[in-house]
Structure 1
Amino acid sequence: MEEGNGPLPSEPPPLPYSLRTRKKAIAIFWTIFVIDTLGQPLILYWTLWYLTDLSHNLVFSIVTACLGGVSVFEYFYRLYNLFRKGSRARPLNAKKSRLDFFHWNFTIVWLFLAVELIVGSVPAEPFVRLIAMVLPTVMFYFGIVHLSLDILRMAGFKAPFRISSTPKGSAMPTALYALIEDVVAVDGGGGQIYRYALRTRYLSSPYFRRMLFEMNCFWSGGSIIFAAAITAVIFTVSEPVAFTLGWTLPFAWAGVWTLITIPWVQSDLRREKKAWAENRGQGGILWVDDIAAPTARTRFASVQDRFTPWTRDKQSAPSTPSADGVDGLSHSPGVTANVTDSVSHDLENMPDSVDSMHEEKKVGDLEAK
């Protein structure tokens, strides 16, 4: 994957992963997860609190001890997959001791939750409202982290450290890209083959990057807003209602957001494919995370125009990338130097990672494409 290495394909680079073939596994996982994270704490709370003579402290000791079994298993399962010898799940070119970005956040948020649960359940009369804040805390954390990353991205900051497969010093990746890469590669079994394919798609398609940026703002912004609303409810209503709503409302919000996201993404992927075929989704610098790269209008922008026509900008069709990979800037030495530096950061050592996978036929097929 080098700059200017031949004509671009007629379609965006494919992603070798399908959710359709994994529907059963996904359904089983989420069923167990919902039972463990939603059903179990509510059932234990209402039955032990109102139908037994156990002390309130003991009730919540039992509730918190039984909480998060699936998440704990998933944490150590991911840790094993990332650390084991010959792992094909860890980020591209990452050392054995390097965790991916999602696992670092997974660790930090669990530390926050552990403090909340311990402080809330230790007193003789537990802080029920604090224990009800477990899921809103997760919403706050990931919402703030993901939104902050994209704000830094738009401000032009570079990655201060490796963010999964994005090398230090590269353009700050949109947070949703890192999340998808890590979850599909490790939890979904896509491995480094998927990490490489996703990075190829991400660097080659400005439309894809714009879609992920907008989707990240939708989820992270919504997460923060609704976490704040749920927090207000928790500290307003009675404790039994607060505990119930604190564990149920986040799932309700996630369900609604998912129902909105599915057709949105499907529509945008069709638009990306059409734009690519018309050569309108390939503006900017080839194989570089060019934040300012022009692209076709996304679905979000189209919907926004309907409600706020006064904010509509005149859109010119993105120009075709030039042969040297710099669109309309090839005569500027300073810009060319910056582009070369950006390319070296974005693709740093990536060929080494691919070479290390040559023994696997799937990778060979992927590179041939």
Structure 2
Amino acid sequence: MEDGAVIAPPEPPPLPYSLHTRKKAIAFFWILFVVDTLGQPIALYWALWYATDLSHNLVFSIVTATLGGISVFEYFYRLYNLFRKNSRARPLNARKSWLDFFQINFTIVWLILAAELIAGTVPKEPHVRLVAMVLPTVMFYFGAVYLSLDIFRMLGYKAPFRISSTPKGSVMPTALYALIEDVVAVDGGGGQMYRYALRTRYLSSPYFRRMLFEMNCFWSGGSIVCAAAITAIIFTVSQPVAYTLGWSLPFAWAGIWALITIPWVQSDLRREKKAWAENRGQGGIPWTDDITAPTARTRFASVQEHLPNLLPWVREKQSAPSTPSADGAADGASAADGAPAPDGTAAPDGQTTH
């Protein structure tokens, strides 16, 4: 072995976070969220609209006033965690006033929903179908934004601004990476330690990046298609049915997608580990988000071999590993902001050591 050579670890860099130890907290949150966002608006609508003499405008004023309590709490909880003094949850190497990417989109979508609900409930006779579009609107928004990031990534665009822990000017990150980083670090309590560990895994494993890319296409593309189908249903069926389906079908879609995702990700993580052990899970420019880096076949690629026409637009460009150049080295330095140095050393707050 040559002097100074870096010995690759036998497994991909670990992610110091486990859902198994947080099952009760996760279950408690999702029960409250489903009751608040699914059960409450539907139950109040049917009870107040058909079992009382209240005006339709007042019915929807009550429904919208009680809507989204959990989401509002989560919004301000995230703001507090990101802005508080000595916060350990904000993006790596970001200034105190910088929000993470999820919080920015959380804010924008809330403004859109507020306008939608006001327009739907202010008239004396509310626009029931418009109020039923709240969740499909969220699906359209996040699907379009997160799918756009990966389209720009495939086209070779750089990040126009800091996207969570990815600095401005770096390779556009796959959107699911930014989402997982933000949600686990802030909402899940993983903090900057998790942001740093995830970035280490992301930059060191081309297989992991491709898995996140394919999974984001699955969720974002599915979100847009399903939202379009739900919208068509809302503006076709009767108003009571439209309202009920508009608030319930998105949860049915999310449940089905989650059931598909769990075994899919588990299988891909096993494949990544195997590829890494065989030294086929690494490639391209080290510690760089190299979208041309070769990698072992993912589960999706294996399925696509049998169905060659299945979603061909989700393929990233594949080519032989490029030789590091001055430009590549510059991109690597930019992408590694907040990521480990080649020897894997780092300070506790996510700063790299050289």
Q: Same fold judged by TM-score > 0.5?
A: yes
CA-CA distance at 1:228 after TM superposition: 0.2
State the Cα deviation string for residues 190-240 of structure 1 (Å, max 9, x = none): 000000000000000000000000000000000000000000000000000
**Mapping 1:15-30, distance limit 5 Å:** 15-30=15-30
Task: Quote the Cα distance in structure 2 between the aligned partners of 1:249 and 1:134.
Answer: 12
Q: Which residue of the partner structure matches residue 84 of structure 2?
A: 84
What code does the residue aligned with 2:285 have?
I
Q: Specify whether residues 298 and 356 from structure 1 end up closer, same or farther in structure 2 by C-alpha distance, changes over 3 A only.
A: closer
Q: Which residue of the partner structure matches residue 346 of structure 1?
A: 335
Q: Specify whether residues 119 and 328 from structure 1 end up closer, same or farther in structure 2 by C-alpha distance, changes over 3 A only.
A: closer
Structure 1 position 58 matched with structure 2 position 47:
no
Unaligned 5+ runs, structure 2: 313-317
Q: Which residue of the partner structure matches residue 267 of structure 1?
A: 267
**Mapping 1:1-369, distance limit 5 Å:** 6-308=6-308, 329=323, 335-348=324-337, 350=339, 354-355=346-347, 357=349
What code does the residue aligned with 2:234 have?
I
Q: Determine what percentage of the aligned residue pairs are the same residue.
A: 75
CA-CA distance at 1:305 after TM superposition: 0.9
CA-CA distance at 1:357 after TM superposition: 2.8
TM-score by length of 1: 0.89
Q: Specify whether residues 5 and 76 from structure 1 end up closer, same or farther in structure 2 by C-alpha distance, changes over 3 A only.
A: farther
Unaligned 5+ runs, structure 1: 312-316, 320-326, 330-334
Q: Which residue of the partner structure matches residue 322 of structure 1?
A: none
Task: Quote the Cα distance in structure 2 between the aligned partners of 1:237 and 1:351.
Answer: 55
State the Cα deviation string for residues 21-63 of structure 1 (Å, max 9, x = none): 1111111100000000000000100000000000000000000
TM-score by length of 2: 0.92
Q: Which residue of the partner structure matches residue 332 of structure 1?
A: none
Q: Which residue of the partner structure matches residue 314 of structure 1?
A: none
What code does the residue aligned with 1:355 have?
A
Task: Quote the Cα distance in structure 1 between the aligned partners of 2:8 and 2:112.
Answer: 46
State the Cα deviation string for residues 66-124 of structure 1 (Å, max 9, x = none): 00000000000000000000000000011110000000000000000000100100111
CA-CA distance at 1:355 after TM superposition: 3.1
Instruction: State the aligned residue count.
Output: 341
Q: Which residue of the partner structure matches residue 315 of structure 2?
A: none
Local SS of the residue matching 2:325: helix
- Two-structure CA RMSD over aligned residues (Å): 2.2
Local SS of the residue matching 1:343: helix
